[in-house]
Structure 1
Amino acid sequence: MLLLFVAGIIAMLCLPLPGVGAAGDRDALLYKVEILIPPKEGRDENADIQQIKQTVEDLKDIKVIFAFKELGNPSIVLVLDVEEACSWPQLTGFLSRKGYEFSVASLYRCSDYSNRLGFNLPDDAWTYSFQDENLAMVTKVFPVGDLSTLEYNERLKMTFQQDLAILKSGQKGVCFRILAEYPVELVYFAPVSQMKVEAIDESLASPGLYENEVKRIQNLANYTAVCQGD
């Protein structure tokens, strides 16, 4: 679940963001930021997205791991490595002034999470850079139901085993866990054609195992204008 980010207070006080892990946890500095440009009379969404794009490119002391634009919607998804909380106002101050809706969630690398569950999933099996490709963002939520902790963890381990087999077959992709309690939520980014998006949607239809959502995205750096079929 996405955490509501009260930008003004945190920006002024430079406090750690909610949901951050314990000190020394290298994943405690990873965040997913979702930005929505709400409809407004006279608003030029293309110009707004270009301005967000430039702002993201100019961030200091914040490593932008991924920056995506959702196809067909005025929505931006960022994965950031924020070393210092006081670096946030560069982004949040801009978003607040523009009146954009945005939320923040702490992230945890799936490889680290899988390893803690007892299944070795090497971090270098994932891909942390995508070129000008057709991309998808896949979100999986694993309901707890009446499962025991052991059964729940085994279901997650099975998912990571399947992930590793897919990666070994040549599919590129990367996975993060939303850093929260339960249910566990995993977020994947992967290159995929439109035909494969439909196939993935069908393959993810696993009643009782997890709920899923698939969105088509593109690298924000490649975004030019809505007239190109976006």
Structure 2
Amino acid sequence: MFMLLIGLLTLSCLPRSVPCGCFDDRDALLYRVDITLPPKEGRDETADILQIKAKVEGLTDIKVIFSFKEIGNPKVLLVLNLEKACSWPQLTTFLSRKGYEVKTTPVYRCSDYARELGVNVSRDIYEMSLEDDEHLLLAKQTCHVKDLTTPEFDEKMRQMFERDVGIVKAGHRAACFRTLASLPVELMHFAPLGPQKMEAGVSILRGPETFDLEITRIQNLDSYVGGCQ
């Protein structure tokens, strides 16, 4: 399992903007949505999160790719495909009325990013379904430009993605997205992980590469029923 994450998370990152026209319209409407429930007297955190869960399940013209609850914190993370721009209000109006803190970030698939670099990968190389996994992690990698030239970044990225393709084809599962921005480059990875492997995994993933790494335990929102975690 960690062979895949090591490959993904030790990627050096290319300081390039995303050229217009590289992706179809649906790709331009992929978003990560972070929802935080701020402290409030009398707030029933479980009830509020279950309301978010019900709202997400009832969205129209918005495809929910992922919906997660951060373990131990009152936070929900969504990855959405916004099929129609005018569909936002059904979600944003609800969240605003509830007084939640919301951050929205446009993203696109790492497979598209790899193909932009010239790597021959299929668009669905990274798994888009993790519903059956109870223990998951979110690994956020922030890459900073150091002393490498653009061609050096290009070559390093190509080599790493090519290695990852082999690892994925060997049966390891993960989903990967890149933030739609030039610098710093941010990659986020979702992958199944047993809790007993967390400590060892974090130690391995913090390699000598020039990036900041943040690991968060998450669970599928569909499986959230409240109570102690």
2:220 match? 219
Shift of 1:25: 4.2
Question: Quick check: 2:38–2:100 contact (8 Å CA) kept in 1?
Answer: yes
SS of the aligned residue for 1:123 comes to coil
1:133 match? 134
Are residue 194 (structure 1) and residue 200 (structure 2) matched?
Answer: no
1:153-181 deviation digits (Å, cap 9, x = unpaired) = 23333332343243233221110100001
Question: Quick check: 1:29–1:82 contact (8 Å CA) kept in 2?
Answer: yes
1:207 match? 208
2:93 match? 93
1:32-83 deviation digits (Å, cap 9, x = unpaired) = 0000001111111101100000000010110001000010011111000002
Aligned residues: CA RMSD: 1.8
1:31 match? 31
Question: Quick check: 2:26–2:81 contact (8 Å CA) kept in 1?
Answer: no
SS of the aligned residue for 1:189 comes to strand
Q: Which runs of 5+ in 2 are unaligned?
A: 1-17
Residue type at the aligned position of 2:158: K
Are residue 158 (structure 1) and residue 166 (structure 2) matched?
Answer: no
Q: Scaled by the length of structure 1, what TM-score is found?
A: 0.84
SS of the aligned residue for 1:172 comes to coil
SS of the aligned residue for 1:226 comes to coil
SS of the aligned residue for 2:124 comes to helix
2:118 match? 118
Shift of 1:98: 0.5
Q: Scaled by the length of structure 2, what TM-score is found?
A: 0.85
Question: Quick check: 2:67–2:222 contact (8 Å CA) kept in 1?
Answer: yes
Q: Which structure is richer in relative contact order (CA contacts within 8 A, separation 6 or more)?
A: 2
| 4+ residue runs over 3 A deviation | 21-26
Q: Percent of counterpart pairs with the same letter?
A: 52
| In structure 1, distance between residues paired with 2:144 and 2:157 | 11
SS of the aligned residue for 1:158 comes to helix
Question: Quick check: 1:111–1:120 contact (8 Å CA) kept in 2?
Answer: no
Query: Please, which moves more after superposition, 175-184 or 197-206?
Result: 197-206
After superposition, residues 46-61 of structure 1 pair within 5 angstroms as 46-61=46-61
SS of the aligned residue for 2:190 comes to strand
| In structure 2, distance between residues paired with 1:39 and 1:154 | 47
Count of residues in correspondence between the two structures: 209
Question: Quick check: 2:26–2:82 contact (8 Å CA) kept in 1?
Answer: no
Q: Which runs of 5+ in 1 are unaligned?
A: 1-18
Residue type at the aligned position of 2:54: Q
Shift of 1:152: 2.0
Question: Quick check: 1:135–1:193 contact (8 Å CA) kept in 2?
Answer: yes
1:85-118 deviation digits (Å, cap 9, x = unpaired) = 1100111001100000011111111111101111
2:143 match? 142
SS of the aligned residue for 1:166 comes to helix
